[in-house]
């Protein structure tokens, strides 16, 4: 997570699908990046908004929507050329180390990334209008997929005993059938 609709870059996440907890956890974008994005270089909400007091309404008119889209496009344009250097995919859910380097124009800006900025696959965004994010691992390389293991099939003792008895009955029927077939062949040959 790079930033959110909150002026402090905080987002509230529910991980009910992952760990069953329904309480909200807060994640925060890197303070350096949030300050840089909300500063004069990356004014994501227009120059007429007061710093630290951004107001959102649930009903925006077309002009406000267009202005928001344009500001988002400006931010995306300024983040072009950014790069991420991070650890290899692993199964440690609460550990992440990485560095976000901004593009050619901002060569000297390196932003550290840690577990506070990491959102796991399957978590839900709550009480936050939107976030700006960056996808690092996808598919089978996500931390959740690295943690999933193929579970063994569990059988009760009764099921195991029943399976063994069925196998024994099938072997006995096969032996009886072979004995009958051989006896019939011998009987036919003698007569």
pLDDT in tens, 43-63: 333 333 333 333 444 455 777
pLDDT, mean over the chain: 78
Q: Under the phi-then-psi rule, with left for phi > 0, alpha for psi from -120 to 50, and beta for the rest, what region is 82?
A: beta
List, for residues 155-178, the tens digit of each pLDDT value.
899 999 999 999 999 999 999 999
More confident residue, 47 or 32: 32
pLDDT at 53: 33
Q: List Cβ neighbours of 154 (8 Å cut-off, separation of 6 or more).
A: none
**Cβ contact 136:98 at 8 Å:** yes
DSSP E strands in 65-191: the ranges are 83-86, 98-101, 110-113, 124-126, 131-132
In what side-by-side order are the strands of the sheet with 24-28?
24-28, 10-14, 124-126
Which of the 8 DSSP states describes residue 91? S
List, for residues 89-136, the tens digit of each pLDDT value.
888 777 888 888 876 665 667 888 888 888 887 788 888 888 888 888
Main-chain phi, psi angles of 109, to 5 degrees: -95, 110
**Cβ contact 17:123 at 8 Å:** yes
User: In the predicted model, what is the mean pLDDT of residues 124-149?
Assistant: 81
More confident residue, 186 or 46: 186
**Cβ contact 36:43 at 8 Å:** no
pLDDT at 56: 41
List, for residues 71-82, the tens digit of each pLDDT value.
677 777 767 777
- Total residues found in the chain within this entry: 191
Q: Is the pTM of this model over 0.85?
A: no
More confident residue, 182 or 117: 182
């Amino acid at each position: 997570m790079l930033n959110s609709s909150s002026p402090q870059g905080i987002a509230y996440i529910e991980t009910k699908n992952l760990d069953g907890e329904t309480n909200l956890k807060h994640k925060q974008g890197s303070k350096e990046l949030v300050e840089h994005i909300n500063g004069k270089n990356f004014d994501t909400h227009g120059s007429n908004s007061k710093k630290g007091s951004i107001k959102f309404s649930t009903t925006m008119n077309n002009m406000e929507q267009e202005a928001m889209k344009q500001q988002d496009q400006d931010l995306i344009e300024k983040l072009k050329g950014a790069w991420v250097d991070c650890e290899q995919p692993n199964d440690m859910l609460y550990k992440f180390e990485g560095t976000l380097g901004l593009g050619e124009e901002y060569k000297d800006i390196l932003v550290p990334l840690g577990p506070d900025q990491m959102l796991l696959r399957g978590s839900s965004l709550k009480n936050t209008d939107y976030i700006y994010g960056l996808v690092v691992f996808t598919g089978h390389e996500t931390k959740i997929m690295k943690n999933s293991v193929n579970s063994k099939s569990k059988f009760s003792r009764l099921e195991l005993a029943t399976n063994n008895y069925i196998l024994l009955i099938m072997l006995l029927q096969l032996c009886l059938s072979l004995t009958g077939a051989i006896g019939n062949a011998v009987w036919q040959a003698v007569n």
